[in-house]
Amino acid sequence: MKLFIDDAHIEDIKRIYEYYPVDGVTTNPSILYKTGKNPLETLKEIRAFIGPDAELFAQAVAEDAEGMVKDARFITELVGKNTVVKIPSTPEGFKAIMALKKEGIRTCGTVVYTPMQAYLAAKAGASYVAPYVNRIDNMGYDGVKVVAEIQEILKNNNMDCEVLAASFKNSQQVMEIARMGCGSATASPSVIDAFVRNAAIDGAVNDFVSDFEKLTGRRTMTDLK
Ligand code: E4P
């Protein structure tokens, strides 16, 4: 499963890249809003840091298909070929995805709450579909189950489209998605940090260091040289 950072704060992105094996960055207009900065400058800054080969997701904001197509062209010109343009999985969005597929611009059908939205976005030519796991949970449905149903639809219809599971609020949701062999997931820096925030892990590591120090008076193997 590919793992993306769902954030646009460059310092957080740099920190997560330093400590975790991640594959790229996903954004949406609300995530860009949280930086308080010019969105175009933010996207360019993220691209400069992650390099030309990593995937960067940025969302078209226009409300009609023609505008979405224009936004998508502009975004990909601005931040390079490995950019995936997120398009809402609505009728206007499906129209835009079909047009962008013909132009060779890769898209992600986003704002996915139902398997039918995912099916239509994939059939229209989206490279990814992004179900919102936590938001679905909050509506009283089972977000992980919706992802499983979407995976099944894509597989059984031989669709060339990958699930990008999104909107996580805890590690358990991400773990369930990884267990089912989902293509990709995107999570905020705080959720990624929480993957291994565990007193048992810290305690075990501290015990090893402390026992070594009691034995040798040193804290690392290298200190013994
Ligand atoms: C990603 O595609 C989504 O825009 C994002 O994960 C939504 O997350 P949220 O529900 O935390 O806003």
Ligand 1 binding pocket includes 27 (Cβ within 6 Å):
no
Q: Quick check: CB of 184 below 6 Å from ligand 1?
A: no
pLDDT at 78 over 90: yes
pLDDT tens column, 107-157: 999 999 999 999 999 999 999 999 999 999 999 999 999 999 999 999 999
pTM: 0.94
Query: Mean per-residue pLDDT for 17-24?
Result: 98
Three-state SS for 44-106 is HHHHHHHCCCCEEEEECCCCCHHHHHHHHHHHHHHHCCCEEEEEECCHHHHHHHHHHHHHCCC
pLDDT of residue 211: 96
Over residues 76-84, mean pLDDT: 95
pLDDT for position 81: 85
Q: Is the beta carbon of 55 within 6 A of some atom in ligand 1?
A: no
Residues tagged active-site: 86
Mean model confidence pLDDT for the chain: 97
Largest CA distance in the chain: 70
